[in-house]
Amino acid sequence: MIDDTTKQKLLKELEKSGNVWSSCLKLNIHRSTYYRWKKTDKKFGRTANTMERHGRENMCDIAKHALMLNVKDKKMDAIKYVLGHYDPLFKRNQTSNVVIVHKKESPMLNMPIKTLEDLFDDDAERAHQKSLELQKKFTGSGKIIPNKPDGNPIEFHELIKYEAYIEDWQRCQKQNKSTDTADSMSETDKPTIAHQENQMPSDNLNSNSASQDTRQDNNT
């Protein structure tokens, strides 16, 4: 037979965590027994409710302490949580009261309603608009879209996935084109320089011939 001592032990366990299941498990008491006591013993029921509330508060304190430890350890998830809930600069303001439901027939007629299908449609529309922007960006000014690394062409709906790949490829093509243009200009200049160098001996010969003719005239 369970006496009042067992009930008091159960209340102390409830005060630690506020969890009925774990408290009953420690004392080998079934939860149905606990709820029956609360129903038949009004005084015990009021005290049990108070202990459950205290236990939940204690667990919240423990969780907050653990959160602070994670912040001190520079855990990014904990840092984001603290800033997002306590700092006005990072706290997100609720800008919409949209409720997601599976059916449009809902008793909440005064609130905007979006089904999961609506969200999927919105996401598809955003992806389509983004693909149009990328297509215009990657094909403007005579640009071309490369094939995928496996040799297959990049489809319209794959532009978002391969955006970085296309940008890198077109950047390399532009750099190679600039290098080829510079090399071509250098090759064009080389014959002119060579021609000038080849002309220099001829000019010297003409100058020497003129000098010899002048000396011969003077001797005569």
At 28-63, the pLDDT tens digits run 999 999 999 999 999 999 999 999 999 999 999 999
* Alpha carbons 3 and 9: distance in angstroms, whole number: 10
Are residues 138 and 201 located together in one domain of the fold?
yes
Mean pLDDT value across residues 3-17 = 89
Total domains present in the chain:
2
Residue 44: domain span? 4-86
pLDDT of residue 73: 92
pLDDT of residue 219: 52
* Alpha carbons 132 and 126: distance in angstroms, whole number: 10
Tokens at residue 126, please?
């955003």
- Residue 96 confidence (pLDDT) above 70: no
Tokens at residue 60, please?
């919240």
Q: Does residue 115 belong to any structural domain of this protein?
A: no
Which band of pLDDT confidence, cut at 50, 70 and 90, is reported for residue 143? confident
Query: Each residue of 159-196: pLDDT tens digit?
Result: 998 999 999 999 998 888 877 776 666 655 555 544 44
Domain boundary among 86, 108, 140: 86
Higher pLDDT, 133 or 189: 133
Q: Residue 195: how many CA atoms within 13 Å on its side-chain side?
A: 5
